[in-house]
């Protein structure tokens, strides 16, 4: 399967990387179009930041921010994912035709389960060491983090399937950065063992873009590299994930990732495969 790129579009005031840049519908729609032009397969739109210091946004406000952006992009045929854990937001956005819901809480709200059971959209089920989107992260050990993530995601797949949601709709996200904890080694260890998560038999989605562990790895925990200087480190981690067989990568820097994947995939092809790919009839030409 070709790696699917989810371009991140934050319609928020306080997202850690780009909060406030795309808050108006016009700004958000323009950026969504640019992400598509840069090579995004899906636009993942969120209206509530998930960092611990973010403002609390009501479901009504999320819907108000999202509706004009989603409606415009869907009218243009853009595939849309919605980053939310709130059932009311899920329901409203599903009515607008979004094809994916990205829930950072792992779809643990029974009302969210009911909303999604009645829909057909794919569901990104994310692991977090917190019990809720704004709760404190529990203490974890890098030596056991992979087992913890594996057990959590297995339990969620089984629970959602038992609740009537087809497992074929599920995409699994191990969580990265602060969703795992402050220690950058936690994220690095999960990335090293993506093959273990693949044993769950569902596609994986990884979102490392500009995250805290990238900054700490490039600098230190006390003095992390600033967000604008994390692009190369982000791309290295994303290519590692692609090499490990991850099917979905969620990123801010769509063009850099699409270009890197294009060259990487060209290098993997044999001369015979490359020659076949270059024939006009293989590209739909006459």
Question: Catalytic amino acids?
Answer: 211, 250
Residue 223, helix vs strand vs coil: coil
Percent helix, strand, coil in the chain (nearest 5)?
50, 15, 40
In this structure, what is the dihedral angle of CA atoms 217, 263, 196, 190, given to the nearest 10 degrees? 10
Instruction: Give dist(CA 193, CA 146) in Å, integer.
Output: 7
Closest CA to 103 of 32, 92, 89: 89
Number of neighbouring beta carbons within 10 Å of residue 183: 17
Instruction: Give dist(CA 134, CA 120) in Å, integer.
Output: 28
Q: Are 49 and 18 in contact (CB under 8 A)?
A: no
Instruction: Give dist(CA 215, CA 197) in Å, integer.
Output: 25
Instruction: Give dist(CA 44, CA 81) in Å, integer.
Output: 4
């Amino acid at each position: 399967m070709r790696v699917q790129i989810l371009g991140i579009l934050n319609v928020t005031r306080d997202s850690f990387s780009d909060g406030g840049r795309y808050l108006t519908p016009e700004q958000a729609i323009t950026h969504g179009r640019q992400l598509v032009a840069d090579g995004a397969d899906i636009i993942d739109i969120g209206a509530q930041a998930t960092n611990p210091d973010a403002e609390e946004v009501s479901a009504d406000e999320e819907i108000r921010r999202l509706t004009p952006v989603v409606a415009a992009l869907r009218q243009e045929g853009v595939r849309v994912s919605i980053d939310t854990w709130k059932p009311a937001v899920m329901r409203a956005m599903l009515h607008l035709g979004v094809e994916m819901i990205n829930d950072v809480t792992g779809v643990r709200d029974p009302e969210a389960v009911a909303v999604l059971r009645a829909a057909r959209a794919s569901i990104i089920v994310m692991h977090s060491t917190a019990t809720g989107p704004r709760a404190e992260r529990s203490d974890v050990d890098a030596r056991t983090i992979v087992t913890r993530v594996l057990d959590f995601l297995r339990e969620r797949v089984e629970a959602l399937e038992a609740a009537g949601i087809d497992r074929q709709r599920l995409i699994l996200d191990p969580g990265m950065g602060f969703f795992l904890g402050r220690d950058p080694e936690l994220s690095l260890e999960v990335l090293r063992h993506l093959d273990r998560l693949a044993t769950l038999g569902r596609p994986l989605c990884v979102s490392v873009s500009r995250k805290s562990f990238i900054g700490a790895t490039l600098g230190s925990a006390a003095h992390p590299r600033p967000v604008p200087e994390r692009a190369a480190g982000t791309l290295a981690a994303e290519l590692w994930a692609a090499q490990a067989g991850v099917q979905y990568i969620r990123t801010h820097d769509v063009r850099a990732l699409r270009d890197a994947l294009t060259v990487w995939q060209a290098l993997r092809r044999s001369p015979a495969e490359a020659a076949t790919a270059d024939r006009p009839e293989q590209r739909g030409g006459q």
